[in-house]
Amino acid sequence: MGTLDWSNLGFGYRKTDYNVRCYFRNGKWGELETCSEETIPLHMAATCLHYGQECFEGLKAFRGKDGKIRVFRIEENAQRMQNTCRGILMEEFPTDKFKNAICKVIKLNERFVPPYESGASLYIRPLLIGTGAQVGVHPANEYLFIVFVTPVGPYFKGGFSTNPYVIIREYDRAAPLGTGCFKVGGNYAASLRANKKAHDLGYSCEFYLDAKEKKYIDEAGAANFFGIKNNTYITPLSTSILPSITNRSLMQLAEDMGMKVERRPILEEELATFEEAGACGTAAVISPIERIDDLENNKSYVIAKDGKPGPISEKLYNKLRAIQYGDELDTHGWVTIVE
Residues of the shown chain interacting with ligand COI in the complex, contacts defined by CB under 6 A? 58, 222, 281-283
Q: Please tell me whether residue 266 binds ligand PLP under the rule CB under 6 A.
A: no
Residue 124 touches ligand PLP, criterion: CB under 6 A: no
At closest approach, how far in Å is the CB of 119 from ligand COI? 17
Alpha helices, DSSP H, located in 46-137: 47-50, 74-87, 95-108
Residue 333 CA, chain-centre distance (Å), reads 20
User: 53 or 235: whose CB is closer to ligand PLP?
Assistant: 235
Backbone angles phi, psi at 4, to 5 degrees: -65, 125
- Residue 324 touches which of ligand PLP, ligand COI, none (CB < 5 to 8 A by kind)? none
Q: Which of ligand COI, ligand PLP, none has residue 224 at its interface (CB below 5 to 8 Å by kind)? A: ligand PLP
Considering the rule CB under 6 A, would residue 289 count as an interface residue with ligand PLP? no
Q: What is the Cα–Cα distance from 303 to 250, expressed in whole angstroms? A: 19
How many angstroms from the chain centroid is the CA of residue 52? Answer: 19
- CA distance linking residue 6 with residue 14, whole number of Å: 12
Opening angle at CA 243, ends 297 and 80, nearest 5: 145
Render the burial of 60-94: b for 16+ CB within 10 Å, e for the rest: bbbbeeeeebbbbbbebbbbbbbebbeebebbbbe
147 near ligand PLP, rule: CB under 6 A: no
CB of 195 to ligand COI, least distance (A): 10
Q: What is the distance between the alpha carbons of residues 224 and 247, in angstroms, rounded to a whole number?
A: 7
Total residues at the site for ligand PLP (CB under 6 A)? 12
Residues within window 42-61 making contact with ligand PLP, judged by CB under 6 A: 58
Of 339, 324, 331, whose CA–CA distance to 114 is shortest? Answer: 324
Q: Is 246 in the site for ligand PLP (CB under 6 A)?
A: yes
Decide if residue 74 touches ligand PLP (CB under 6 A): no
206 binds ligand PLP (CB under 6 A): no
139 or 185, CB closer to ligand PLP?
A: 185
C-beta closer to ligand COI: residue 246 or 268: 246
- Residues near ligand PLP (CB under 6 A): 58, 219, 222-224, 242, 244-247, 281-282
